[in-house]
Structure 1
Amino acid sequence: MAPPKPNSPANGSGFLASVLRFWNRTYASDYIGLAILLASYLVIQFFVEPFHRLFSLNDLRISFPYAEVERVPLTHDFGYALFIPLLLVFVTNLICSASPHKHHVTILGFAIALVLTSFLTDVIKNAVGRPRPDLLSRCAALPGTPVDKLVDISVCTETGHHKLHDGWRSFPSGHSSFSFAGLGYLSLFLAGQTRIFAHGPGSIAEHTEKLVRGDLLKALFCLGPLVGATMIAISRCQDYRHDVYDVTIGSLLGWTVAYWSYRRYWPRLSSVRCNEPYAGPPGVTDGPGYGRLRDEEEGAGGRNVGHELRELNSR
C-alpha cells in the first residue's frame, strides 16, 4: 500500500485525518470486508429461502434415495477444510520461524478464502434453486399428485423445514467449494513454501544455490490437499446430494477464490520470493518486506536476475 501523498487529508490533523491514517496503515479494510462477508453469509443461512423450481414426479434425475448418513458430514467438512489446514499452515510457519506479518497474512488470506467462498456459494444456491438428486425422497409428495405434470413445493408433505428447503440447494456443491477453498489454499501455501515452481530458464535458481529445485516428493506433498478436496467432492455424488455438474462447478468456484485470495498477499509461485508475502501497510509490516511487483518483474527473464540477486543479498 502506497504511503499517502504530501497533500493528502491523511497528513492533516483532527479526527478524519486520524481515521485515514489508521485506514492506510492497517488491514482495517480487509477486516471490515471480512466482517461484512461473514455477516451476509449468516443472514443468508438463517433467513433466506431458495428459489423453488417446479419439478415432476417422474423425473429420474431427482429420484435418488435420501442418505440419512453422509460419507462426509458438514462437521467433518469443517474439520478437513478449515481446522486441519489452519493447523498445518500455523505449524509450517512456526517451523520456518515466520515473522508476525507472515503469520498474519497467511491466516487472513485463508479466512477470506473460506468466508467469501461460502458467501458466493449460498448466494448462487438460493438464486438458482436447482433440485437435488434426492428431492423426491425429501418431498414425499401427497398421494394422487400427478406424475406427468410440473408441480411445486406445495405438494410436499415433509415437515422438516431445513430438510425440505435444502432440497432446492443443489447448485453448486457447498462441500466441494468449501473443501477446495480451504485445502486449495493450503496447497498453494505449501507450494510457495517448498518453492516447487520457483525455477526455470533465466530464473534466479540458475544463478544461486540458495534455492532448491522442487522434486516429485515435494510436488506430491503439495498436491495432497487437492486430492483430499477431490475425494470430498466425489462423496457428494456417492450420497446423491449432488451430481457431477454441481461438484465440478463448486470445486472450480472454491479453487478460484482460494487462488484469488492467496495472490492478494503472496507473489506468484514461480517468483524467487514465493515463500515470503508481500509487504503490508506501513503500520503493520515488520522489516523492509517484499513490495508488490508486476508479474513481468517477477518473471523468469534474465534481465531480472540481477535484481533478484540483490533482493536475496539484502535479506
Structure 2
Amino acid sequence: MAWVWRRVGSLLPFHYFHAIFQKRRMDQVELGRHTIKSHGAALAKNHVHDWLILLLLVVLEVILFIIHPFYRFVGKDMMTDLKYPMKRNTVPVWAVPVYAVLLPVSVFLLVYLRRRDVYDLHHGILGLSYSVLITGVITDAIKNATGRPRPDFFWRCFPNGMEVYDKLGNVACHGEELIIREGYKSFPSGHASWSFAGLGFLSLYLCGKIRVFDRKGHIAKLCIIFLPLLLASLVAVSRVDDYWHHWQDVFAAGFIGLIVAAFCYHQFFPPPYDEEGWGPYAYFRALEETRTDSNLAHPPNGTSARPVEAQATNRQARLYRNTVLSPEAREECSPFDDVESGRR
C-alpha cells in the first residue's frame, strides 16, 4: 500500500485545485442527465408513500373545513370589537391556491426547462404541496378548536341589527347558519397562513437558485427574494382591512406558514447559504453514485488498483477542503486522519 499512498501524494495538488475551483463547473455539466423521461418514473415510485400521505392530508383538510368549530361564549359586553361591517374578500378564496401553489409550480417548471433536473422539479412540487397542506391542517385545526369570533361577527349573528341573548348572556344568533359558523373561524387566518407557506417556500427556493448568499455582495438579489414575501404580507394585511381577521390572527398565521415552509424546504434542499444550496440533496446523491459507478465500471488502464487510488484521493481532497475552508475542522480530525494525510 505504500506505493499507493506515494502515488496519491503526487496527485493531491492537482486534485485539490480541481475539487475547489472546478467542482461547481462539473456539477453544472452533469445537469440534463436526470430528466422526467429517464428518471421520473423511478423517482415517483420511490416517493409513492409521500404522495399517498399527501392525499390523506387533502382528505383531512376537507374534513376540518366542513366540521363545525367551537362556538365560543360571546356576551353583550364582548360585542364592542365585533361590530365591524361585513365586506367582500379583497383576495377571493379561489385566488389563494393560484398564487400560493400554481405560481411557485410555474417557477419550478421554468427552472426544469432550463436545467432538466427532475429531482429539483419533483422535490420542489412535493415540498410545496406538503408546506401548504400541513399549514392548512394546522390552521384549520386551530380555527375549529379556538372558535374566535371575527371582527364582523355582530352582523353575521344579527343581520337585522337586533341583538338577542339567552338566559346565560350568550348570543342567540338568527342569521344564516353557514355565515354564523364561518364567523367563529377568525384565529388564525387561512389566507395568511397559506400565503406564507406557499410564497415562503418559493422565496427559499429562489434564494438557493440565484445564490443570494454567495458572498459576492450582489445585494440586488434580495429584491427577488423579498417579492413573494411582500405579496404574502399584502394578502395578510387585506384580511385585517376587510374585517375578516384581527391583527393577531394574521400574525400567528404568517408565523405558522413560514415555519412549516422552512421545515419542508430543508427536507429536500440544502440551506440557501450552502455552497450546494442551488440543487436538491437527491441530485447530488445521484451525481455521486453515477460517478462512483462510472469509476468502478471503467477503471483507467485496466488496473484494479485505480478505484482504490481514486477513493483515497477523494478522501484526501475532502480532508483538505475541511482544513482549508473550515479551520475549526482541523481540530476535529482524528490522529488516524493525520497519519493518512501525511501530517504525522
- TM-score, normalised via structure 1 length: 0.73
Work out the CA distance in 2 between the residues paired with 1:253 and 1:195: 26
Counterpart of 1:107, as a letter, is: I
Residue 3 of structure 1 corresponds to which residue in structure 2? none
Residue 90, structure 1, aligned to residue 109, structure 2: yes
| 2:252 alignment partner in structure 1 | 249
Q: What displacement does 1:98 show? A: 3.5
Q: In structure 1, give the amino acid aligned to 2:270.
A: P
For 1:288, the equivalent position in structure 2 comes to 289
Aligned to 1:232: 235
Quote the Cα distance in structure 1 between the aligned partners of 2:219 and 2:193.
Answer: 27
1:109 aligns with 2:134: no
The answer to whether the Cα contact below 8 Å between 2:192 and 2:232 also exists between their aligned partners in 1 is: yes
2:174 corresponds in structure 1 to 157
Q: 2:280 maps to which residue?
A: 277
TM-score using structure 2 length: 0.68
What is the one-letter code of the residue matched to 2:289?
A: P
Between the aligned partners of 2:158 and 2:85, the Cα distance in structure 1 is: 11
Residue identity in the other structure for 1:44: L
1:136 aligns with 2:172: no
Tell me the number of residue pairs that the alignment of Structure 1 and Structure 2 aligns.
255
Distance (Å, rounded) in 2 between the aligned partners of 1:44 and 1:245: 22
- Contact preservation (8 Å) 2:203, 2:225: yes
For residues 48-87 of structure 1, the aligned pairs below 5 Å read 48-58=67-77, 59-67=79-87, 69-87=88-106
The structure 1 residue matched to 2:200, chosen from 184, 188, 195, is: 184
Give, as a single letter, the amino acid of the residue that structure 1 aligns with 2:112.
N
Instruction: Describe the shift of the 1:83–1:64 C-alpha distance in structure 2 as closer, same or farther (beyond 3 A).
Output: same
* Partner AA of 1:60 in structure 2: T
* Cross-structure match for 1:293: none
Q: 1:164: how far off?
A: 1.3
Report the RMSD for the aligned CA atoms in angstroms: 2.9
Counting only pairs closer than 5 Å after superposition, residues 6-85 of structure 1 correspond to structure 2 as 26-46=46-66, 48-58=67-77, 59-67=79-87, 69-85=88-104
Gaps of 5+ in 1: 1-21, 200-212, 290-296, 306-315
Q: Quick check: 1:198–1:269 contact (8 Å CA) kept in 2?
A: no
**3-state SS of 2:279 partner:** coil
Residue of structure 2 equivalent to 1:219: 222
In 2: Cα distance, 1:304 partner to 1:220 partner: 35
Q: 1:157 to 1:147 in 2, by over 3 A?
A: closer
CA contact (8 A) 1:195 1:214 kept: no
1:218-242, CA deviations, whole angstroms, 9 ceiling, x for partnerless residues? 1111110000000000000000000
Which digits, 9 at most, give the CA deviation of each residue in 1:280-305, with x for residues without a partner?
Answer: 799xx57638xxxxxxx9xx734679
C-alpha contact 1:57 1:147 (8 A) present in aligned 2: no
Aligned to 1:173: 189
Structure 1: distance between partners of 2:54 and 2:256:
18
Instruction: Give unmatched runs, 5+ long, in structure 2.
Output: 1-41, 291-321, 331-344
Partner Cα distance (2:284, 2:136) in 1 = 27
Identity across matched positions, percent: 30
Indicate if the aligned counterparts of 2:146 and 2:187 stay in contact, CA closer than 8 A.
yes
Rounded to whole Å, the distance in 1 between the matches of 2:257 and 2:225 is: 17
Shift of 1:27: 1.2
Instruction: Give the distance between the partners of 1:302 and 1:75, measured in 2 at CA.
Output: 53
Q: Residues of 2 paired with 1:223 and 1:144: CA distance?
A: 46
Distance 1:146 1:197, change over 3 A: same
1:122 and 2:151 matched: no
Contact kept in structure 2, 1:56 and 1:148, CA below 8 Å = no
Q: By percentage of residues, which structure has more helix?
A: 2
Give the residue type in structure 1 aligned to 2:175. Answer: E
Alignment-mate amino acid for residue 134 of structure 2: L
Matched, 1:196 2:215: no
Q: Is the 8 A contact 1:26 1:281 kept in 2?
A: no
Larger Rg computed on CA atoms: 2
Contact preservation (8 Å) 1:100, 1:286: no
Q: 2:261 aligns with which of 255, 258, 261?
A: 258
